[in-house]
Structure 1
Amino acid sequence: MTPDEAEEVVHEPQNAGAFSLATILDEADDQLEHPDFKDKPQGGWDEETKETEAAQGYCIECEDQPAQVRCEACADDYCEVCFAAQHRKGSRKSHTTKPIAAASIQKASPSASGSQGLGNGGHQGDSDDELDQVVSGTTTENPVVLETQPDSGSTVGDWFLERSKFIPLRLTLGERKYLRLLEAALNVSEYTDKIDTIGFQLSKAKRIVHQIRELCAILGGLVLSADYKQGQELFSDRDFAANEEFYQQVFELGRRHKIMNPDKMRSTYGKLIYLLQDSQTPEVKNMLSFSCVKPIRTVYTVLEEHDALDLLREDLIATATKEIYSEGRMRREIQKDIKAKEKAVETLSKKYSRNGLSQEQVRQCLYSIGDNHSFLRTNRDPCDRMILYLKQYFHPTHPKDNKSSLAIKSGKGGARLSHDHSKQYAYVLQSLTLWREILHDMFHLWYLAESDLLSDNVPYRLRDTGQGLNRVQAAPKTSRMMHAILNRAQRSIGSWVGSSVIHMGDHNVPNALMFIDKYSQIYRILLPICNTISHIPSLMDKPALRSYIEDEFGSEDGLCREILGDFFRHGFDGSGADNFFDAGSCIDGRLTSAWNWCSSLEKKRFFPVFLLTGFIGFDGDW
């Protein structure tokens, strides 16, 4: 014990006597300190906080986003997300804002923003910004939150330009061969079984390196068996570091394929991401002597590399990337659209082909944007259809009866919320609107999720969340984007029913991968319901089925109303978990309740109608 420590021991008993149960429970307990607490900064916490201020033109709350609104009551500047999610609470709920003119928003210099992220304790420093650029392939400091449609002040070309930053490039035929090899190697790999476990004597870093090298060796063997000449060129010296570019390319095309096709790689993508996540740790990097991660190739990065971004501002871009569907259309109209699209693609590919950028690569970029449109129609449009059904059958202005009422009561029918018809209608409408906005920006969210997952300065911890061991990791960039989407949905609705808590990095949603997997399943819930409703008229054309429907449900309209009413009531009733923190009315709890309704569909009296319309399951193909 040093003389200073001895002196502290002599003087502490007087204060230690005051540290008792009575003083802890006293009203002035906020002034009480534990006698052994020595980590308090000199001058106090409040004093240090006052010494740092947000850079001019930035939000005073998060300090890393440009200020967009000024609170008229407090005279402080906030970004829209922080004002809605943090400031406008409790007694400040009545505070009003006025927008800050764009000209008055001054961006801090690179040196100022860097010092701000480190000195003020911001969650995004220089390394986070660099990782944003690596994952998204862009150099945008503050990504613009995409609107559902182009703003009135922006052109369609600007909308395509911004959105292309997050649209992965479609795989070529040669890349698809390597994709099959990657999937085969991941299928036989036992990576997560060996790494995410407790009780191994070998250090975790050594186990990670061993498993990564083993997977790379399997890939090398598969390449050698598929193409002996290429395999000999790549792996003759068995040097993993020398083939760094090859491994990065194979892992990148796997990530790119998954983003474009969420239904694919359902059992292998998580294994791949966890492997890459571990490979980013400094200790593993040093032992491996090479990096496994490279930027995702997007439409924007390819065109920017060859100075061809003007392609996205062409008037023909909408025609060249249009998705052509056949539902409810005449063959002549379909053929006309096909010819117009082919002509637009050929015109643009010839105009923008140049040295290093072939016509086929230009076509690939255009087809990739078209794939994004197809994704939106499959995943986002069921939300639009359900919103239309909700307004058509259950709008508060319509006459009410027992079948038309959406009222729920806690404890009745498994519900854990109590809403009257109008409140439940608003609750369902805002939930479907929020899901639609999330799916509209899913590619953007996916990039931010990978950025959080592959960050080398946001560690994870292995924890039993009640559903086995999971990697619990904070996701600051994904969380911020989600708050921006929530704020946009709240403004479009006008009022909000229930909680606005977004779970991220806890036992409900352990990490960004679980978040992406959770919300990419929305269409699996809504699409079977939409398809069943749309097929009911064809059932009415068959006399036997028509008689069954009329006897059981009264009419075609009565059947649709019963199916939709049951889903809108008990698919959004807060059920599906043991407590209000895991389900209830929070943002993630709404999706939990919908999944809970799906699990009980077989007990509903209208379940035979689902089977008659071709229903296989909520995880089946339609």
Structure 2
Amino acid sequence: MQARLNEVLDDAVADEAPQTNGDGVASAYDEHVARLKAEAEAQDAANRLRVAQEQLAEYSAQKAEDTEGLLQEADRLREALRQLLERPGSTATELEEVSQSFQTLREKLVDAVAEARAFAAQQAADLVTLKRSSDQADLHTDVEMKRARDEGTSSNETGNGQEDAEEEEEDEDEEPVRGTIGPQAAVPSTSFSERARFIPMRLSHDERKLLRLLESALNVSEYTDKVDVLTWRSKNQRIHAQIRDLCAILSGLLVAADYKKGQDLVRDRNFADNADFFQNIFELGRRYKILNPDRMRSEYGKLMYMLMDSAEPAIQELLEFQCVSQLKTVHRFLDERGGLAMLEDSMLHTATAEIIAGDRPRHEVQRDIKVKEKARESLSRRYRNARLTEEEILTCIYSLSDNNSYLLFNRDPIDRFIQFFHRYFKHDSHEPGYSLGIQGGRDGARLTHNHERQYHYVLQSLTLWREISTEMFKLWYLAESDMLREGNTYRLCDTGQGLNRVQSAPQVGRAMQNILHRVQERIGSWVGSSVVHLGDHNVPNALMFIDKYTQVPRILNPVVSVLEELPKLYRDPNLRSYIDSTFGGVEQCRKSILVDFCRHAFDGSGADNFFDAGSCIDGRLTSAWNWCSKVEKKPYFHIFRLAGWVGFDGEVKS
């Protein structure tokens, strides 16, 4: 990593090295580059230490529990052998020898239990001390604020804005910031009143026209290529120039698309006078992406990084306007127009329900469609008022329906996979040849689990993914709030996969901990680590977090489709002969696919160390990606192709 970091630093600053006639400026330049390296290395080391300490504490607690289980098992075994030896025919000498051996074994186990308990308690205390020390030191904030002050000094800025940002960072938990939702939204709820707080409004026809302009402008923009480079100079001027260039491109495209509106926009060539236009067009791009995760794959990243930079007070001062506006959600839209009562109407469930045809007769599907349409018409007439038209109410209903459609195509595949999992596997037994057990070092696995332990490990991972998919709109809303919050600075560093923006995401972190706590309570026990990587070299920022978990349906959907398509393939005589000769039938083929997936998509593989993979929350998804990359080498790969599988990722361009 050090060699790579040095190489990137040398390349990045080569074009901007100071031209000097003496040693003074050059010495300052070298000192600044060395400080950047030291800050990046110190922060990375601190993150690795924190993760290692958490994993070690969990490991020690698990070992203490396992040791106590061994002690109980030894007591039961001693009692069973005692009863066996007390039967007629056993001598006192034999009984004494067995009793003495078990007494010695039990004493050793008692010592092991005491030692494991003490070690676990010590690690837990060390973890608490480490967290307290990290909170008091606040290394990340100190480094970022120091760098911000250095940049402000180099660009001849006053620094009052940075002091205000530091005060906002300290009072984060006390004062609500823009984009937050308040403490009551932390309580999970399936009611429309709560869900609507995070569901964006569907784009109108005119907004879709503007969306095309935004996509075109972002497609030709080189914002991240020119801004995200390591440099010793202040990059505020560069950010300012790139944002103005993007606004100029949007203005030019609007002139080409609608000459009259474009002329009004560029008449005075003052972007600050048209702040509402730019805020609206950037906001509708964010809304569209949340509702359509498969679109704007590269453009959305540029947009969010640009808005992240524009949220800095120094950049706002240069631009003379704000680029970020609050996301337009269904709850906010109805609240402004006095229509919140509709969200409590029981008919709304019928008006937004997903109609699945399946194998049902056509007349039943048509009947459900008519019932749904009547419910929509009834709601639009019942809750219209002077500020809320029937068409606007229908748009809100369609937006809520979009969330149900998202759950249908992103959460339901996880449910169907869990059904297959329960159908073919039991936690306490397995068929010969279909054990889920894995052993570290064999077939690429980095974890060692017996069948029962791996069963629970897979089930709890799938359950966690399901809960994350259920609350994805909320997590996405909080992720944008974290990224665009004023004062939440980032640092640019090499994470092993190029330069990335490492930024804290406190709201997403709290929401993930709540989801994890609910899953742990539902499951009853937890296998593996419960560390959530966020704001480190594994998951640098909230945008990367969202991108990771939008991959889950892309992985499970093809697997479920193949499992469901197998009976149809089996109807073909030639394919039936192939399936019978290779796997022994449809059921055996399904079990072969499921066994391999449940073993090696959850085996801790996919990285070189336990910091990046293993059994942590994000490491489970890393293992699934690793399985996807090797599916071409699996014996059932031809079944995937015959079932219509083409890939796990899909098209990159919208």
TM-score (structure 1 length as normaliser): 0.77
Indicate the residue corresponding to 1:180 in structure 2. Answer: 212
1:167 maps to amino acid: I
Are residues 1:477 and 2:507 paired?
A: yes
Q: 1:301 to 1:254 in 2, by over 3 A?
A: same
Does the 8 Å contact 2:179/2:485 carry over to 1?
no
Compare CA radii of gyration and give the structure with the larger one: 2
TM-superposed CA distance for 1:390, in Å, is 1.2
Indicate the residue corresponding to 2:582 in structure 1. Answer: 552
Indicate the residue corresponding to 2:391 in structure 1. Answer: 360
1:588 maps to amino acid: D
Q: 1:119 to 1:275 in 2, by over 3 A?
A: closer
RMSD: 1.9
Q: What percent of counterpart residues are identical?
A: 54
Indicate the residue corresponding to 2:642 in structure 1. Answer: 612
Are residues 1:512 and 2:542 paired?
A: yes
TM-superposed CA distance for 1:234, in Å, is 1.9
Per-residue displacement from partner, 1:484-527 (whole Å, max 9, x unpaired)? Answer: 00000100100000000000000000000000000011000000
Does the 8 Å contact 1:446/1:516 carry over to 2?
yes
Does the 8 Å contact 2:530/2:616 carry over to 1?
yes
Does the 8 Å contact 2:169/2:488 carry over to 1?
no
Query: Matches of 1:120 and 1:324 in 2, distance apart?
Result: 46
TM-superposed CA distance for 1:93, in Å, is 12
Greater shift after overlay, 191-200 or 471-480? 191-200
Indicate the residue corresponding to 2:10 in structure 1. Answer: none
Indicate the residue corresponding to 2:56 in structure 1. Answer: none
Indicate the residue corresponding to 2:178 in structure 1. Answer: 131
Query: Matches of 2:488 and 2:224 in 1, distance apart?
Result: 20
Does the 8 Å contact 1:575/1:592 carry over to 2?
yes
TM-score (structure 2 length as normaliser): 0.73
Are residues 1:537 and 2:567 paired?
A: yes
TM-superposed CA distance for 1:199, in Å, is 4.2
TM-superposed CA distance for 1:395, in Å, is 1.2
Query: Matches of 2:235 and 2:171 in 1, distance apart?
Result: 30
Unaligned runs of 5+ in 2: 1-118, 125-165
Indicate the residue corresponding to 2:270 in structure 1. Answer: 239
Per-residue displacement from partner, 1:278-299 (whole Å, max 9, x unpaired)? Answer: 0011110100000001111111
Unaligned runs of 5+ in 1: 1-88, 95-116, 151-158
Q: 1:473 to 1:93 in 2, by over 3 A?
A: closer
Classify the secondary structure of the residue corresponding to 1:143. Answer: helix
Q: 1:234 to 1:545 in 2, by over 3 A?
A: same
Indicate the residue corresponding to 1:523 in structure 2. Answer: 553
Indicate the residue corresponding to 1:144 in structure 2. Answer: 186
Does the 8 Å contact 1:146/1:163 carry over to 2?
no
Indicate the residue corresponding to 1:490 in structure 2. Answer: 520
Classify the secondary structure of the residue corresponding to 1:336. Answer: helix
Per-residue displacement from partner, 1:383-408 (whole Å, max 9, x unpaired)? Answer: 11111111111112454311x20000
TM-superposed CA distance for 1:254, in Å, is 0.1
Query: Matches of 1:175 and 1:218 in 2, distance apart?
Result: 18
Query: Matches of 1:566 and 1:286 in 2, distance apart?
Result: 56
Classify the secondary structure of the residue corresponding to 1:166. Answer: coil
Query: Matches of 1:380 and 1:459 in 2, distance apart?
Result: 33
TM-superposed CA distance for 1:329, in Å, is 2.1
Does the 8 Å contact 1:415/1:573 carry over to 2?
yes
Indicate the residue corresponding to 2:28 in structure 1. Answer: none
2:173 maps to amino acid: Q
Report the count of equivalent residues: 492
Does the 8 Å contact 1:118/1:125 carry over to 2?
no
Are residues 1:329 and 2:329 paired?
A: no
Query: Matches of 1:227 and 1:618 in 2, distance apart?
Result: 39
Does the 8 Å contact 1:123/1:476 carry over to 2?
no
Indicate the residue corresponding to 1:154 in structure 2. Answer: none
Classify the secondary structure of the residue corresponding to 2:185. Answer: coil
Per-residue displacement from partner, 1:132-185 (whole Å, max 9, x unpaired)? Answer: 34xxxx5x34423324xx5xxxxxxxx110111000000011100000000000
Per-residue displacement from partner, 1:430-464 (whole Å, max 9, x unpaired)? Answer: 00000000010001101110111011111100000
Q: Which has the higher contact order (CA 8 A, sep 6+)?
A: 2
Among 289, 302, 314, the alignment partner of 1:283 is 314
Indicate the residue corresponding to 1:111 in structure 2. Answer: none
Indicate the residue corresponding to 2:631 in structure 1. Answer: 601
Describe how 1:344-355 pairs up with structure 2 within 5 A: 344-355=375-386
Q: 1:237 to 1:546 in 2, by over 3 A?
A: same
Per-residue displacement from partner, 1:562-607 (whole Å, max 9, x unpaired)? Answer: 0010000000000000001100000000000000000000000100
Q: 1:322 to 1:406 in 2, by over 3 A?
A: same
TM-superposed CA distance for 1:539, in Å, is 0.7
Per-residue displacement from partner, 1:245-303 (whole Å, max 9, x unpaired)? Answer: 00000000000000111001001000000000000111101000000011111110111
Does the 8 Å contact 2:207/2:284 carry over to 1?
yes
Are residues 1:314 and 2:345 paired?
A: yes
Among 468, 480, 491, the alignment partner of 1:450 is 480
Indicate the residue corresponding to 1:300 in structure 2. Answer: 331
1:124 maps to amino acid: D
2:214 maps to amino acid: L
Describe how 1:14-33 pairs up with structure 2 within 5 A: none
Indicate the residue corresponding to 1:343 in structure 2. Answer: 374
